[in-house]
Amino acid sequence: MLHKRSSGLLLHITSLPSAHGIGDLGPEAYRFADQLTEAKQSYWQILPLSPIEEGLGNSPYSSASAFAGNILLISLERLVDEGFLDAADLAKPPKFAKGKTDYAAARQYKEPLLDKAFERFFDGSMDRHAYEAFCHEHGYWLEDYALFAALNRHTGIYDWSQWPAPIRDRTEAGLAQYRRDLAREIEREKFRQWLFLKQWFELKNYCMAKGLQFVGDLPIYLNYHSADVWSHPRVFKLDENHKPFVVSGVPPDYFSETGQLWGNPVYDWKYLRSTGYDWWLKRVSFNIHLFNLVRFDHFIGLVAFWEVDAKEKTAINGKWVKVPTSDFLATLFRHHQHLPIIAEDLGVVTAEVRNIMQENGFPGMKVLLFAFGPDLPTNPYIVHNHTEHCIAYTGTHDNNTVRGAYSKDADDATRQRVADYLGQPVNEKTVAWQLIRLTMQSVAKVAIFPVQDVLNLDERARVNVPGVAENNWAWRLTPGQFADEDVAKLATITQLYGRQ
């Protein structure tokens, strides 16, 4: 799957600069793609593109759909270029904070403009052939998602199990009635998804023409309040009241005495197997179409998952439940000659998971920030223990920046091990590029770096702190922050270590 030595950068779309409060699929995305090309990079890794919710911390890993896109990523400038809006509509944007995403303010500003584009499209003379073809091609998920989103607004009830019984239970009469009553709202949701995917594939095609590939991200679990759980309840372990009777988590470990109780509904793999894994097959196929490579979050969950009774307050009293992994993967391979999957295998991973990854050719991840503990000589993340078939990182979206980790998180013994391994003095101003250089030297076929490390940014540029609900997913580049000298420096070191 990984054919040549190459490298790339990790930056989510929301972290791009823009004039509209949140990074999007507009001019700055194309500028960043050009910079990646100039820097001799081959990959642009992003986080999930799925819808987000303010009540869930705006996390791209907590979503109401396995298929829909985040409409806040739609570029208003491109809507002007295509005639959906007038330039005057964007003439006086609010003053948004620099270097930070204000999701509420961005939504308040952008949604009325998306509504204006919708009204112009449906009440004017614009050609609808492309839109209608999109609705036909994506109807298998779009119809249910659009109705679900419309029902959210219509009912005002954030728990679909409390909706009126005919629509909660998806009776034929209930579905027909609400599709009639909410026809305009449903059409608006479809239109927004069309705009999003239209702009996404325009950006993807632009990148591919420049030899740049996208690494996407597929979260294993969904929110209970999601279009997929509502429309495919048999896929999940729900009781007679449509509620999960068991939920997801991870068991107690070195980091937590009570484990982590995530609370997502878990999959009924026995039922899935009886359907030929139809829902999962559609989901994987969709993501392979979206991206060139797909990072499969919490890959261990495709082998076995920690299942906890929904009444429990912690994850202590759970159990491991096996997944029919071999049969599932064989089904995927029958439909896809090639599965471009990267397995997120960080943390505790069993020998069975390793064997499945090796048998199916799925590369794993090696994060250098995890490598400098007392076990350094045998640590799998340290560079001298890497193998070719893996992706080497300085850090990920869940880590501190290299500079922040070195100056704020590491103890003196860890800092000394870093210096000893590098064989030269280290300080907080030099450590990020010293570890970038070290990762570039790895035998791993692909090396990827968060943009924050390339820019030598400290802990204030961290994207996410796992387990903390507030103030995540907000960091953004400011215009011009990723400068020509950074691009040139990255190009030089990429060529030096044969990753062009």
* pLDDT tens-digit profile, the chain (500 residues): 788 999 999 999 999 999 999 999 999 999 999 999 999 999 999 999 999 998 899 999 999 999 999 999 999 999 999 999 999 999 999 999 989 999 999 999 999 999 999 999 998 878 899 999 999 999 999 999 999 999 999 999 999 999 999 999 999 999 999 999 999 999 999 999 999 999 999 999 999 999 999 999 999 999 999 999 999 999 999 999 999 999 999 999 877 899 999 999 999 999 999 999 999 999 999 999 999 999 999 999 999 999 999 999 999 999 999 999 999 999 999 999 999 999 999 987 899 999 999 999 999 999 999 999 999 999 999 999 999 999 999 999 999 999 999 999 999 999 999 999 999 999 999 999 999 999 999 999 999 999 999 999 999 999 999 878 788 999 999 999 999 999 999 999 999 999 99
Q: Is residue 297 among the annotated active site residues? A: yes
Q: Is residue 409 among the annotated active site residues? A: no
* Strand boundaries in 412-496, DSSP class E: 446-450
Among 398, 428, 459, 486, the active-site one is: 398
Among 24, 77, 144, 297, the active-site one is: 297
Rg, the chain, Cα only: 23
**Phi first, then psi: what are they for 254, rounded to 5°?**
-60, -30
Q: Is residue 398 among the annotated active site residues? A: yes
Structural fold of domain 6-68+217-404+411-496:
TIM Barrel (3.20.20)
Determine the pLDDT at residue 254.
Answer: 73
Q: What is the amino acid identity at position 68?
A: A
Determine the pLDDT at residue 262.
Answer: 93
For residues 144 and 276, give the distance between their C-alpha atoms in angstroms, rounded to a whole number: 21
For residues 452 and 31, give the distance between their C-alpha atoms in angstroms, rounded to a whole number: 17
Longest CA span, the chain: 73
* Strand boundaries in 346-438, DSSP class E: 364-367, 390-393
Among 24, 307, 344, 345, the active-site one is: 344
Domain residue limits, the chain: 6-68+217-404+411-496
Which residue's structure tokens are 């199916």?
Answer: 360
* DSSP states along 25-68: SSHHHHHHHHHHHHTT--EEE----S---GGGTT-TTS-S-SS-
